Amino acid sequence: MKEIRFHNSLSGNKEVFRPEFPDRVRVYSCGPTVYNFAHLGNLRAFLFVDLLRRALIAFGYKPDMTMNITDIDDKIIRESLAQGKGIREFTEPWVKAFQDDLESLNIQKLEHYPRATDSIPSMVEIIKHLQNQGLVYEKDGSLYYSISKFKNYGKLSKIDVSGMKTGTRYDTDEYEKDDVRDFVLWKFPKQDGEPAWETEIGSGRPGWHLECSAMVRDVYGSGVDIHTGGVDLTFPHHENEIAQSEGAYPEESFVKYWLHSEHLLVNGEKMAKSKGNFFTLRDLVKEGAEPRNIRFLLLSAHYRSKLNFTKERLEEASQSVSKIQNCINRLLEELSKSGKIFQAQENVAPGTWDEFLESLADDLNISKFLASVFELVKDSNQYLDQNSPNENEIWKRLELFYKIDSILGILNFERKVEVLDSEIDELVRQRQEARKNKNFAESDRLRDKLNELGIIIEDTKEGLRWKRK
């Protein structure tokens, strides 16, 4: 297997990836809290997990991956009580929405999607182990983790705990970065109707941080090779996961490689509903955007770099996808002249594929990977323009594009029937009419469709014209 290097947040360095079991690479990723639709920042994190999975498979590993579903926390309790619904009744539609988003973005299914509420027994077991290690204290019926008694606290986030006041507690599931306090493990019900479980450690519900430690243990029995999540989860969430898991089971290794994806900005700012720059996948699709173009844009920057989402960049992504697809369409059309229909041979690996793998081996360097993709597009178009295409060469290039799409997940390899000129004339007329009526969503949809068909629209002195690429 080719050597892969990942930037490990724990060490702060790129390290050679050496999983314990190459035929079962254990990966745990923090998933959604299901109380609303996932926003673009969430989707970028989910797509990073998809890129990681596809890359591991390309390198010959067999991933065994988990993404948790947080279906109990402060926000869920607040919203479910307000609507007079039970936890499962309230969260079920949001779980379905999450699954629909993954499918729309062509995100591969993972092996496991555990729900927090199904892991209550494991959470209780972890707390009992922590109690035996002297790391837990009780206050007003709730149980807290005493971080001053865990000597390695702060090793992931590099946070300074020297000024911490012992016994200063946080009762909420989320709190501000750099504010170091003991965190709640088990919360005593504070209001009527609040969900609670009757257990041997008392009545209550788990704190948010405890949930992931328990689900990792439920799925894998101990620790994992890779743990991923957004950079904002490094502290306190992931730091607290380490404290819980390694505090309860000091003889076991919890996580070997921590991989964190950077923030998504929208128009240069942090996403917020109050700023009017808060988007879900459904918002963009309703405006006429294609999911595959959204996928391309959210994948196009290195996972450890901030990505600034704008409508202009989405338009550029649309053009980039069309550029790759149009090249493939030309290759498919040329192949069809010999009466052949392209069917990928999964076992065929052109030598040039190694160049693409080298990019991915360097901490999933998608920018370098895409640069090679567009070099291939340019070279393939030149080959089609200047030569009498050879069937074997056409097939070889299509195989390479097919392997590229095993990473990108955006391309189509079925030859499209040529659209009649009269049909294109009608599409152009409809687009002009939409622009005239300021129906920009419809205009953009028709523009994307024309792009997919390989049509270039030109505004000349004689009026609007179109031509095939």
Query: Is 241 part of any known ligand binding site?
Result: yes
Give DSSP secondary structure letters for 370-386.
HHHHHHHHHHHHHHHHH
The strand pair at 202-206 and 182-187 is best described as: antiparallel
Q: CB of 46 within 8 A of CB of 107? A: yes
Q: How far apart are CA 252 and CA 242, in angstroms?
A: 11
For 35, the token pair is 């109380």
Joined together, the tokens standing for residue 259 give 């991989």
Q: Is 403 annotated as a binding residue?
A: no
300 with 317: CB under 8 angstroms? yes
Q: Is 273 annotated as a binding residue?
A: yes
Q: DSSP letters of 261-299?
A: EPPEEETTEE--GGGT---BHHHHHHTT--HHHHHHHHH
Report the C-alpha gap between 423 and 410 in whole angstroms.
25
d(CA 257, CA 228): 9
DSSP string, 187-225: E---STT---EEETTEEEEE-HHHHHHHHHHHHHSS-EE
Phi-psi region of 261 (alpha: psi -120 to 50; beta: other; left: phi over 0): beta
Annotated binding residue 30: yes
Q: Under 8 Å CB-to-CB from 13, ≥6 apart: which residues? A: 7
- Of the candidates 450, 451, 431, the one whose C-alpha atom is nearest the C-alpha of residue 441 is 431
In angstroms, rounded to a whole number, what is the distance separating the alpha carbons of residues 424 and 417? 13
List of residues 6+ apart from 56 with CB closer than 8 A: 25, 27, 63
Identify which of 402, 15, 434, 101 has the alpha carbon closest to the alpha carbon of residue 279. 101
Q: Which one-letter DSSP state was computed for residue 118?
A: G
Considering only CA atoms, which of 62, 200, 173, 170 is closest in space to residue 116? 173
What is the C-alpha separation between 293 and 187, in angstroms, rounded?
43
- In the annotated binding site for Zn(2+), the residues are 30, 212, 237, 241
| Binding residue numbers | 30, 212, 237, 241, 273
Binding residues for ATP: 273
